[in-house]
Amino acid sequence: MRRRGQMRIIEALIACSLILFCHYFLSSSINIVSREEEPELHFLARNLMEVIGSEENLQLIMMGESSSEVLSELLKTMLPPGVFYNITIYSLTSGEILGNASNISGEEFKARSSVSLEGVYTFSYPIVLEKKIPIDVVLVIDRSGSMKDIIPGDEYSKIYYAKRAACNFIDNLNGSRDRVGFVSFGTISNVEVELTYDYEYVKMKIENLAPSGWTNIGDAIADATSLFDNDGREDAIWAMILLSDGRANRPIDEEYAREYALNKSKVAQEKGIRIYTIGLGAKDDLDEELLKEIQTDGYYYSPSAEDLEEIYTAIAEDLIYEVEHDIVVIKVTLLKP
C-alpha cells in the first residue's frame, strides 16, 4: 500500500490533465540584452527570435533528434550572406544546452556591429512515457436496464456506443505491455475478464453485454479492485474506468448503496488505483456528486452516448502520455564584420 501511495505521488507530479496529444501551449518574453545601433541587424535578430520561438519550431527542436540541424536549416533560409550568428537554447529547469548553432570564430567577434537578444519561453508538450510504464486497467461498465435506452439525438442505444467506445479504448493500448480487465454491473456485478493481454477476448465479452437490472456500483468497484489485489503488477499503473448512466441503488436501498459505493472507492484509492468516472445521459438520472467523489483522476460527463468515444480517447491519452514542462532561454547573437 505504501508503494502504491508513493507511485500515486510520482504520477500526480507527472502531469495532468490530459491534454490531447500534440496540443502545444507557449508563452514568451523577449528582452534586448545588448546591442549597438544597427536597424537591419536588429530587425533580423528579432525576426529570428520569433521564428525559433514559435510553437512549431520549438516542438521540432525539443522533440527532434538533432536540434542543431533544425537551427542551422532555419538560419540558412533567414539570414543573408555576410551575417555571422551564434544561437544557443538552454533549459532553465536543468541547465542543459538544448541546441546550439554558430558560424562565429574568435576573430570574427571583432565585428563592427552586433545585436544580442534573449527570449524566455515556457511551454508544455505531451510525450509517450519514456519509461514505457505498463498499464493494468479495468473497464467497469454499467449494463443496467436503462443502458438499452436511446438518448434523444443519438441513433443507437447507450449500450451500443458504450461497447464501441470501450473497444476503441482497448485498441489504443500496447498489446505487449498493457493488460485489460473487464467488470460489468447491473443488479449484481460480474468479473467478465481478469487482467489479460488477450484484447480480442475482452472485446468479445464487451460486445456480448445485454442490459438488465439495477445499478450496483459498489460491488463493481470492489470486484475491479480485487483484480488488482489478485494480479496487479507492482511496476504498472493501476487504473479503473467506471461508466454509469444511473444512481447506485443496489445492494439494499439507494442511500445505503451510495455510501457502500463510496466506501469501496476509498478502499481502491488507498491502494493507489487511478479511478476515472463517466456519467452518461440525463443529469437528473445521475448521481454526479458520487461519481466525482469516486474519481481520483477525472470525472467526465457525456450527455450524448456518441461522446463516449472521445472521452475514452482522452482517458487513454492521460494514461499513455505524460506532459513535459520546461522553461527555456533562447539567445540570439548576430554580427557584421
Residues 200-209: what's their mean pLDDT? 98
Lowest mean pLDDT among 20-34, 179-193, 237-251: 20-34
Rounded to 5 degrees, φ, ψ at 123 are -160, 165
CATH assignment of the domain containing 82: 3.30.450
Question: Residue 166 CB: number of other CB atoms within 10 A?
Answer: 23
Same domain, 179 and 297: yes
pLDDT tens-digit map of 33-82: 444 456 888 888 888 888 888 777 777 776 665 667 777 888 888 888 88
Q: What is the dihedral of CA 142, 147, 148, 154, to 10 degrees?
A: -130
Residues, the chain, total? 337
Task: Return the C-alpha cell found at 160.
Answer: 451500443
Is the Cβ–Cβ distance between 16 and 319 less than 8 Å? Answer: no
Question: Grid coordinates in use for 308?
Answer: 463516449
Say whether both 149 and 112 belong to one domain.
Answer: no
Confidence check: pLDDT of 31 > 60: no
Residue 243 lies in a domain: yes
104 and 221 inside one domain: no
Does 274 map to a domain? yes
Burial letters for 190-199: b for 16+ Cβ neighbours within 10 Å, e otherwise? bbbbbbeeeb
Q: If you average pLDDT over residues 240-268, what whole number do you get?
A: 96
Q: Kindly indicate the confidence band of residue 93, based on its pLDDT and cuts at 50, 70 and 90.
A: low
- Domain with 111 in it: 25-124+324-336
Q: Which residues are within 8 A (CB) of 185 and not within 5 positions of it... i.e. 6 or more apart? A: 140, 141, 142, 143, 144, 215, 216, 217, 219, 220, 223
Q: Note whether 206 and 282 are same-domain residues.
A: yes
Q: Does one domain contain both 252 and 328?
A: no
Residue 106 CB coordination number (10 Å): 6
174 and 275 share one domain: yes
- H/E stretch holding 77 reads helix 67-78
Tell whether 140 and 96 lie within a shared domain.
Answer: no
H or E element that contains 242: strand 237-244
What CA dihedral angle connects 136, 142, 147 and 152, to 10 degrees? -70
Kindly state whether residue 172 falls inside one of the protein's structural domains: yes
- For residue 191, the domain's CATH number is 3.40.50.410
Q: Is residue 6 part of a domain?
A: no
DSSP 80: -
Q: Which amino acid is at 156?
A: Y
Is 14 within a domain? Answer: no
Winning range, highest mean pLDDT, from 16-20, 75-79, 101-105, 233-237:
233-237
Say whether both 161 and 296 belong to one domain.
yes
Task: Categorize the per-residue pLDDT at 3 as very low, low, confident or very high, splitting at 50, 70 and 90.
Answer: very low
Question: Roughly what angle, to the nearest 10 degrees, separates helices 217-231 and 254-270?
Answer: 20
What total of structural domains would you count in the chain?
A: 2
* DSSP calls for 156-214: S-HHHHHHHHHHHHHHTS-TTT-EEEEEEESSSEEEEEEEES-HHHHHHHHHT----S-
Q: In angstroms, rounded to a whole number, what is the distance separating the alpha carbons of residues 148 and 150?
A: 7
Contact yes or no for 173/239 (Cβ under 8 A) = no
Q: Is residue 219 situated within a structural domain?
A: yes
Peptide bond into 251 cis (omega under 30): yes
Over residues 206-231, mean pLDDT:
97
Q: Check whether residue 305 and residue 328 sit in a common domain.
A: no
Whole-number pLDDT of residue 112: 64
Find out whether 242 and 281 touch, Cβ atoms under 8 Å: no
